[in-house]
Each structure stands twice: as structure tokens, then as C-alpha cells.
Amino acid sequence: MSVDVVLIGRNEGARLVASLASVMPQARRVVYVDSGSTDNSVEAARTAGAEVVALDMTVPFTAARARNEGYAALGRHGDRAEMVQFLDGDCIMAPDWLRQAEAAMRDDDGLGLVTGQQAELHRNTTVYSQMSDFEWKRPVGEIETCGGNMMLRAAAFDAVGGFDPQVIAAEDDEICNRLRKAGWRLVRITAPMAQHDGNAFRFSQWWKRAERTGHGFAQVGALHPEYFRRERLRGWLFGLILPITAVLGTFVSLWLPLLVLAIYLLSYLKAALGLRREGLPPREAMHHAVFLTLSKFPNVIGMIRYHWRRLRHAQMEIIEYK
């Protein structure tokens, strides 16, 4: 095999062991970047045969920083592969993925990034896993952005300077924007790429993840104003403006709070119908639409958190949800 892999993780336990077992037979070299794990992750990676980079945790951690340091480790001896696959430690790589993705890259010198099909490992365990699985299902062909599991051409990575380590969420969207602006094409192919083990069982995990998403909307939107514009507008409207209108409206007329409630109901119905058109069964669509409607509240908290940090010139610290 002629593809190198950067695997990142923090306290993934058995998920990391499974991830390593799927990657090691396919990759030329594997670098595992550990972000302060307190379990046996480092030992498991070394036992599997991966090179280990342990991040200095006195410096604020981001997934972007971890990926950059893994990529740098691959190049320290001047023999980095032309293609580098990034994979999260809670994901199991599909058999033959690296070969198929590399072949797609070699067939088109204009491709800077290739990603594939991803699914949730335990889809029906919880509604949170179902939502993640649906989130991974995206059309094939040329794309604007993708998640963090991606194969990058080393020349493209170098051309844009890698991931932005200051971006604490949606760092994958951010680098994809810079790749496209630099003239590289991004493609999703039909081949299975990975199974994700989200391990999400609690409402609090979902809420924190949605806060993190909102922070990403704001931070990446500040760097690329044309991107996440709709998501930011919907977050401010449904997460802040309408609730304030409903509260203040009670002093004017009871019709105002009822109107706001009707707007939320309409948004919910629109989301449920949209999910049905995209192929979800009726019960799942109705259930998922509840969370989509609620998500604007943690989204706006995440956006406010970003702007508050920015105004204070504070460090952008990661929002953990596991």
C-alpha cells in the first residue's frame, strides 16, 4: 500500500483498538495522535504497530492541531506518501477503502480530496445514532465540504497550510473551503469508507455536540462569510430572536407568543416532511425533526460563546461532548 494514515483520538478504548485493526493492514504507515488519553490508548496504538504522537496538553487541544501534528510526523524523515488519509479513532475503516480512494486520486490530478460513504456502526441503538447515520448519507460526486474522515493529496494539504488549529469545530469544513478557493476539486465516491461508533446515549451529549456545531457555524462563518450563512441566520432567528419576541410579546398581546409557537410548529412540520422526502420512515422523520427544531437553541449558545470569546480575545477551547 502507498497511503499513509493519520489517526486521532482521546480515550476511545475498544473503539480505537477496532479502528487500528481496520487500518493497519491497509496503510503504508500509521501515525496515531493522542490528545491526553487517560486509558490505554497509547499502549494499544504502539502494540498495533502505529507510530505515536502524544500532544503537549499545555497547549489548547483541537482536532485540527492533532491532524496537523500527525501529518508533520509523517514527513519528518522525508518519505511521506503522496496521499494521506485522516481518520477519527472512533471509526472503523472499510476494507479496500485506501486502494479505491487512491485510485480515484491518481485518475485525476485536479482532485485535492476524496471521501466516501460513511455509516453509523450501531445505527438503531439510539435516536442520536440514527441522526448521525442520516447525517453521513450525502450524494456522490463533486462536493463543497465533508467530515474529518478524508483522503488528502499531500500537495494540496501543503498548498493551503493544513488545518487551522484555532478552529475548534467544523475544522473539516474550513479546510475544504480553502482547498476549493485554491483551485482543488473535492469528490465523494460510492465506495464505503468507514463506520462511525458515535457512542451517544444521552440528551446532554447531543446538546453539547449541537453547541459545538453552533460554535463552528460562527467561527468558520467569520473566516468564510459566504459559508454557513443560512445556518447562522436560522440559529439567531429560532434560537434567540423568536424566544425573546415570545417573552416580550406577553406584555403586548397573547397572540404574539401563539404566533411564535405556530412558527416553530411550521418549522417542525417542514423539517419532518423534508426528512420524509429524503427517505426516512415516518416515525424516524417525526422524531428527528424534534431534535432539528430544538437544535437551534444549543446552536445559538455555541455562536454566542464564539463571539464572547472573540470579543475578549480569549482562547478558543474545544467543546467536548463525549
Say yes or no: 155 and 213 in one domain: no
**C-alpha to C-alpha distance for 48 and 302, rounded to whole angstroms:** 38
Helices (H), the chain: 14-23, 41-48, 63-74, 97-107, 127-136, 154-160, 171-181, 203-223, 229-236, 242-249, 255-277, 282-294, 296-312
322 band by pLDDT with thresholds 50, 70 and 90: low
101 neighbors 172 (Cβ within 8 angstroms): no
Residue 320 lies in a domain: no
**What is the predicted pLDDT for the residue at 321?**
67
- The mean pLDDT value for 258-263 works out to 96
What single-letter amino acid sits at 156? A
pLDDT tens for 153-172 read 999 999 999 999 999 999 99
- CATH number of the domain bearing residue 36: 3.90.550.10
The answer to whether 80 and 12 have CB atoms below 8 angstroms apart is: no
Residue numbers of the domain that contains 216? 203-312
The lowest-confidence range among 21-30, 152-161, 311-320 is 311-320
Nearest of 216, 264, 222 to residue 239 by alpha carbon: 264
106: in domain: yes
Q: What single string gives the DSSP state of each residue in 217-232? A: HHHHHHHSTTSSHHHH
- Looking at the structure, tell me whether residues 217 and 254 fall in a common domain: yes
Average pLDDT, rounded, for the chain: 94
The whole-number pLDDT of residue 154 equals: 96
DSSP state of 35: S
Confidence of residue 59 (pLDDT cuts 50, 70, 90): confident
Q: Report the candidate in 175, 157, 151 with the shortest Cα–Cα distance to residue 103.
A: 151
Instruction: State which of 131, 166, 196 marks the end of a domain.
Output: 196
229-236 and 296-312 helices cross at what angle (nearest 10)?
100
Q: How many domains does the chain have?
A: 2
Whether 145 is covered by a domain: the verdict is: yes
In a domain, 153, yes or no: yes
For 105-109, which contacts have Cβ atoms below 8 Å and span 24 or more sequence positions?
105/151, 105/153, 108/185, 108/187
216-229 confidence digits (pLDDT tens)? 999 999 999 999 99
Give the mean model confidence (pLDDT) for residues 195-220. 93
* d(C-alpha 128, C-alpha 106), whole Å: 37
Q: Which of 163, 180, 196 corresponds to the end of one domain?
A: 196
Distance of alpha carbon 251 from alpha carbon 257, whole angstroms: 10
Residue 143 counted as domain residue = yes
